[in-house]
Structure 1
Amino acid sequence: MAHAAPAPGARPPGAPVTGTVPSPAPARPGATRTPDVFGPRAHAVARWAGPVAAGLVYGYWAAANQRGGGPITGWNVLFGFVVALAFVLLYAAVRRLAGRLRREAHAAAWAAFAGVAFGFLYHQTGHYSVLRSALMAMVVAAAVFAVLFYRYYTHEDTA
């Protein structure tokens, strides 16, 4: 015997009423919404845990590049933590500022952040000149700009 499938968000017949508010309807007809498994607190923690973890990895990487395989010193550890703090603060500033910009400036802000971050790591190795580090940073920034501009252009809100 065939039965009709219930509409998305509808309560099946005979199901108890729990007093929860149903999730909003999908934005587009035929689109499904991914269930939100985590609560608002978990999302708030994840919003900062990712950048902090990335900052710690970046700081460790910069410190390792600077010491060039030599012994780990207190100044080297301090350098790593200062770089990690600067990375996280700059990331937060770009994330806050870039969301308010048009697509070109939005992509340029993230491209500049990525280029400077790469150029700094590249220069910490000590094997290359500042000019080559700047050139490599510009190449990375141009690639990031191209990808992000395409992404923001194709996902632009038409409203």
Structure 2
Amino acid sequence: MAQVRVRAVGIDVGPDTPVLLLEEIGGAGRVVPVSVGGPEATALVVALERVHGVRPDTHRLIGELLTTFGRQLVQVRVHTLAEGIFHAELMLDDGTTVDSRTSDAVVLALWAGAGIQVDEDILVAAGVAAETVTIEGAGRAGADAEIEEELRRFLDTATPDDFGPDPQD
């Protein structure tokens, strides 16, 4: 397993789909592009930008549940690439592992400050040289400008009703 970091979330211009770029720390510095959906890309950007809504989103809720039950996410492992789909698992402080979509696992890792690892076989099969990756129009941490703008528009126009009922009512 190799330690990686989120290099960017952006749009793959070829198929015009959102992509998460995981960059190897040290080693050959390879980048693994992981295709994600639009909502997943938005969740990744929210976590990268540390945007806190009025109410916790699903990923922050999961983090709160872990904390409430005395557990901590310590590592995310992207362990398998099968038929073009990346498979990940959450590793908790008590040794428990939980199967997860890679995008969800990475969002949780970003919120929790947990490490992210990618299996060496995946780096060999799907990794590309970092210098071949171009990030245009990216914001902080490489977040794609379009996704960031979409999120900002939502937050600018959001009302309390967009986040559900007030828990104090």
- Same fold per superposition (TM over 0.5): no
Give TM-score, length-normalised by structure 1.
0.21
Greater share of helix: 1
More strand as a share of residues: 2
Q: Which protein has the larger Cα radius of gyration, Structure 1 or Structure 2?
A: 1
Higher relative contact order (CA 8 A, sep 6+): 2
What TM-score, normalized to structure 2?
0.20
